[in-house]
Amino acid sequence: MTVNVNELREKFEELYGKDGDCKAYFAPGRVNLIGEHTDYNGGHVFPCALTIGTYGLIRPRQDRMIRLYSMNFKDMGIIETSLDDLTPSEAAGWTNYPKGIMWTFEKRGYHLDKGMDILFYGDIPAGSGLSSSASLEVLTGLMLRDTFGFDISMVDLALIGQYSENNFNGMNCGIMDQFASAMGKKDCAIFLDTSNLHYEYAPVKLPDARIIITNSNVKHSLVSSAYNDRRNESEAALKALQTVVNIETLGDLTEEQFEQYKDAIKDPICQKRAKHAVYENQRTIHAVEALRTNDIEKFGKLINASHISLRDDYETSCEETDILAALAWEVPGVLGSRITGGGFGGCTVSIVKKESVDLFIQTLEKAYKEKTGIQAEFYVVDIGDGAHALD
């Protein structure tokens, strides 16, 4: 749907009254073109911000009460808490994400001396792997920064979001999702070295193609999934490698070096996890080079190889996303297709020639429904800017 900010304002005033001005903000979701599960392994990632995301309206209060409302969870109504009760709880549901950001601000010495009324609305499908949680975190951080006048950079807002999700929400994610939401740039992807946060914007020029996100409509909760297991397995592999080679992260290795030293990893599962991290990092570097030289065909082949590695070595895909990728590979005009996001469901991202977009959607919609009984959803997306004020 097209989001009308004035309608969000009307809802805000209906909920909280008309006293004082509320300010509106937006933070995007992201799709990662390539570089999956490399962000916590010291590798490179290549995400871009989307034009879908999360909207937020905020108005400070004169007491310490926090009132939160999401138009995506209307049945939960207004959820009230306090600046004196910033603790995670299962009962708090989705509000654990904004509360976690407030907790992190306080922890870092940014004192919140007033409560606030906040309304959220997101148009990212829940559980799709397009980073609705990171969008909500960055959005909350931006609203707090502006409301309280803190001097915090957008990169620091991304780091605050990651810290909050790691330590308040118990999700051991890397920096990519929050960084993409905070630092996105229209028509560009972010080539980010997660080992040192060095980044550059790489224009995504697809004159004859479009980016299509296909939602498998298999939802997942990464906190309770095997995501944290994968991180632990990668860390175990790194420790084994560090006994034979001087590296700080798996991202420090080339493919040749990995093959030379891999036998130091005695656990075959951990060895497969490390192989993915090393090879995926190199694929990401090569993919950006391919884009720079307008070699879209090579870019697409690297995307396909990424999915195969996520399916076989990292084992974070699932039957439904494997079906979507395999179906996509058979459609003429599809340059590449892979699962995107944390995995265990969610979406695939495909690069499709413009003349094949309708054929792609019709073919996958029909065949996926026949094979799984599930209705897929399709989004032909544009690359948008990072988090910003709407006023």
Q: 332 in a domain, yes or no?
A: no
Closest CA to 50 of 68, 26, 73, 67: 26
Model confidence over 125-138: pLDDT tens digits?
A: 776 778 899 999 99
CATH assignment of the domain containing 62: 3.30.230.10
Which structural domain range is residue 161 located in? Answer: 5-203+385-389
Do 203 and 157 contact (CB within 8 A), yes or no? no
DSSP label of 91 = G
Percent of all residues in the chain with a pLDDT value above 90, rounded to a whole number: 87
Structure tokens at 367: 């065949």
What is the predicted pLDDT for the residue at 129?
75
Q: 382 or 332: whose pLDDT is higher?
A: 332
Residue 68 pLDDT greater than 70, yes or no: yes
d(CA 304, CA 352): 13
Model confidence over 324-366: pLDDT tens digits?
A: 999 999 999 999 999 998 888 889 999 999 999 999 999 999 9
Structure tokens at 118: 């906040």
Model confidence over 195-248: pLDDT tens digits?
A: 999 999 999 988 899 999 999 998 765 545 688 899 999 999 999 999 999 999
What is the predicted pLDDT for the residue at 45?
96
* CA distances from residue 94 to 29, 286, 324, 331 in whole angstroms, order as listed: 16, 38, 29, 38
What is the predicted pLDDT for the residue at 256?
98
Q: DSSP 3-state assignment of 50?
A: strand
Sheet with strand 44-45: strands edge to edge: 44-45, 188-193, 198-203
Taken in order 314, 316, 317, 319, is the CA torsion positive or negative? positive
Length of the chain: 391
The one-letter amino acid code at 87 reads: T
d(CA 313, CA 343): 13
Sheet with strand 23-32: strands edge to edge: 79-82, 65-70, 116-122, 47-60, 23-32, 388-389
Percent of all residues in the chain with a pLDDT value above 70, rounded to a whole number: 98
Structure tokens at 65: 């009460």
Angle at 169 between CA 164 and CA 173, to 5 degrees: 70
Q: Which residues are designated catalytic? A: 177
Q: DSSP 3-state assignment of 61?
A: coil
Q: 342 in a domain, yes or no?
A: no
Q: 241 in a domain, yes or no?
A: no
Counts for the chain of helices (H) and strands (E), in that order: 11, 13
For helices 319-329 and 357-372, the axis angle rounded to 10 degrees is 140
Task: Give the count of domains, the chain.
Answer: 1
Do 44 and 251 contact (CB within 8 A), yes or no? yes
What is the predicted pLDDT for the residue at 341?
84
What is the predicted pLDDT for the residue at 223?
46
| All residues at 6 or more sequence positions from 366 whose CB lies less than 8 Å from its CB, including other chains | none
Long-range contacts of 200-203 (CB under 8 A, 24+ apart): 202/46, 202/288, 202/291, 202/292, 203/291
Q: 148 in a domain, yes or no?
A: yes
Q: 157 in a domain, yes or no?
A: yes
Closest CA to 135 of 192, 92, 177: 177
d(CA 31, CA 48): 6
Which helix (H) or strand (E) segment is 25 a member of? strand 23-32
Residue 377 pLDDT greater than 50, yes or no: yes
Q: 71 in a domain, yes or no?
A: yes
| All residues at 6 or more sequence positions from 2 whose CB lies less than 8 Å from its CB, including other chains | none
d(CA 29, CA 180): 8
Return the bridge partners of 90, or none.
none
Model confidence over 272-325: pLDDT tens digits?
A: 999 999 999 999 999 999 999 999 999 999 999 999 999 999 999 999 999 999
d(CA 121, CA 136): 9
| All residues at 6 or more sequence positions from 105 whose CB lies less than 8 Å from its CB, including other chains | 112, 141, 144, 150, 160
